[in-house]
Amino acid sequence: MAALDEAPLGLIGLLILLALLSAVELGYRGHIGLRRLRGEQGPGKGSPDHLLSAVLGLLALLLGFTFSLALNRYETRRELVVQEANAIGTTWLRAQLLEEPARTEMSRLLRVYADARIGWSDHEVRATDMALTARLQQQLWAVAGSAIRADSSPQLSRAVMDAMNESFDLAAARLAARSAHIPGRVLQVLLLYAALSMVMLGYILAANGRHHRIATSLLLMLLSLALTIILDIDRPRSGAIQVSQQPLLDLRQSMR
């Protein structure tokens, strides 16, 4: 599913819509072709609509399940932003209680670190952003170690290191959360099931002798929109639906 991550969402939505329209037309013309092969003339005798209702009901269930997977990952990313901002803010507050020169040096590094984390959170992520984060973490750890050795209050120094260590762990957790996607096999099955459902829809429409083009087109547009939204939420880097970085921005503002 790597191609889905790179292609524009608008193009993907249009391709899904065209594929579903083609599936409906395939089912419609397939039923007509089968009737001609049997030598049947005139409109069909109709098909049991409860079969279509069952198929579309299962499709709705699969859509809801996949949407829930994507939304859970989105909520995880959002919560991690808040937790990381809180951890960096706690480190900042505790660092203000350190003796000089550790207080000034750590405050400076924490400002730079907060800027680096905001930069990493941008939609377009560069490979150097995480390298900068790792480098700043090493520098902060070194300053904290010097403060522990020089400070007369080891409890305070350990408290600073605990908060800083938590912020480092949350940075790694955010990286893992950003790399987590809906399993490709789930999306493949969902798209395949949607296409086969539309083939069945076209088949039953032909059996009933009515195409219902407007209603069918609206249904396919709604279905394509739902699938596109799922793919959008599952794009933590390039999608239109992005996690707000306001907690980090508010933290950086408070550091001034």
User: Is there a contact between 88 and 205 (Cβ–Cβ < 8 Å)?
Assistant: no
Q: Quick: pLDDT tens for 32-85.
A: 888 778 776 655 555 567 888 899 999 999 999 999 999 999 999 999 999 999
| Mean of pLDDT values over 216-236 | 92
Report the pLDDT value the prediction gives residue 178, as an integer from 0 to 100.
87
Report the pLDDT value the prediction gives residue 195, as an integer from 0 to 100.
94
Task: Tell me: cis bond preceding 247? Omega within 30 of 0 counts.
Answer: no
pLDDT for residue 171 is more than 70: yes
List the one residue out of 232, 187, 204, 173 whose CA is nearest residue 56.
Answer: 204
User: Distance from CA of residue 146 to its chain's centroid?
Assistant: 40
Write out the H or E segment, with its range, that includes residue 97.
none
Which amino acid would we find at residue 130? M
Distance between CA atoms of 34 and 36, rounded to whole angstroms?
Answer: 5
Rounded to the nearest integer, the mean pLDDT of the chain is 86
| Mean of pLDDT values over 216-233 | 93
Give Cβ neighbours of residue 41 (< 8 Å, ≥ 6 apart): none
Q: Quick: pLDDT tens for 109-161.
A: 999 999 999 888 875 555 566 788 889 999 998 888 887 777 657 777 788 88
- Model-level pTM greater than 0.85? no
Report the pLDDT value the prediction gives residue 7, as an integer from 0 to 100.
76
Residue 147 structure tokens: 């403060």
Q: Count how many residues are written for the chain.
A: 256
User: Distance from CA of residue 92 to its chain's centroid?
Assistant: 30
Radius of gyration of the chain (CA): 28
Helix, strand and coil in the chain, % to nearest 5: 80, 0, 20
Which amino acid would we find at residue 136? L
Residue 54 structure tokens: 């069952």
More confident residue, 139 or 5: 139
